[in-house]
Amino acid sequence: MAAPEPPSARQTDGLLSRLIGVEEELLLVDEATLCPAPRAGEALSLAASAIPLAGTALELEVKREQLEAVSSPRASFDELVTAIADGRRAADEAARAVGARAVAIATTPVACQTHAVSSPRFDRMQERFGLTMLEQLTCGFHVHVTIASPDEGVAVLDRIRPWLPVLLALSANSPFWQGMDTGFASYRYQAWGRWPTAGPYDLFGTAERYRRVVDDIIETGVALDRGMIYFDARLSAHVPTVEVRIADVCLQPRDAAALAVLVRALVVTAVSEWRVGIPPDGMPSSLLRLASWQASRYGVEQDLLHPISGKPRPARDVVAALLEHVDAGFDSSVERDQVHRRLQVILSRGTGATQQRAASAAAGGAVEAIALAIAATHAAV
- Domains of the chain are 20-372 (3.30.590.20)
Q: Show pLDDT as tens, one digit a residue, over the chain (381 residues).
A: 444 343 333 344 544 579 999 999 999 999 999 999 999 999 999 887 655 566 789 999 999 999 999 999 999 999 999 999 999 999 999 999 999 999 999 999 999 999 999 999 999 999 999 999 999 999 999 999 999 999 999 999 999 999 999 999 999 999 999 999 999 999 999 999 999 999 999 999 999 999 999 999 999 999 999 999 999 999 999 999 999 999 999 999 999 999 999 999 999 999 999 999 999 999 999 999 999 999 999 999 999 999 999 999 999 999 999 999 999 999 999 999 999 999 999 999 999 999 999 999 998 888 999 999 999 999 888
Residue 56's pLDDT is what?
82
Neighbouring C-alpha atoms within 13 Å toward the C-beta of 129: 24
Closest to 261 (Cα-Cα) out of 378, 141, 96: 141
In terms of Cβ atoms closer than 10 Å to its own Cβ (0-12, 13-18, 19+), residue 211 is middle
Residue 13's pLDDT is what?
57
d(CA 268, CA 98): 42
**CA angle (159 as vertex; 156, 162 as ends), nearest 5:** 130
In terms of Cβ atoms closer than 10 Å to its own Cβ (0-12, 13-18, 19+), residue 213 is middle
Tell whether pTM > 0.85.
Answer: yes
Residue 53's pLDDT is what?
62
d(CA 171, CA 168): 5
Residue 11's pLDDT is what?
41
Contacting residues for 5 by C-beta, under 8 A, at least 6 apart: 19, 72, 73
Residue 49's pLDDT is what?
60
d(CA 49, CA 18): 33
Asked if 98 and 61 count as a contact pair (C-beta separation under 8 A), the reply is no
Closest to 40 (Cα-Cα) out of 21, 56, 59: 59
Q: How many CB atoms lie within 10 A of CB 67?
A: 31
d(CA 19, CA 38): 34
Residue 51's pLDDT is what?
52
Closest to 195 (Cα-Cα) out of 173, 225, 171: 225
In 72-139, at which residue ranges do the beta strands (DSSP E only) sit? 100-103
Q: Phi-psi bin for 49: left (phi > 0), alpha (psi -120 to 50), beta?
A: alpha
Residue 364's pLDDT is what?
80
d(CA 351, CA 363): 19
Q: How many CB atoms lie within 10 A of CB 295?
A: 28
CA distances from 215 to 204, 221, 250 (A): 13, 10, 33
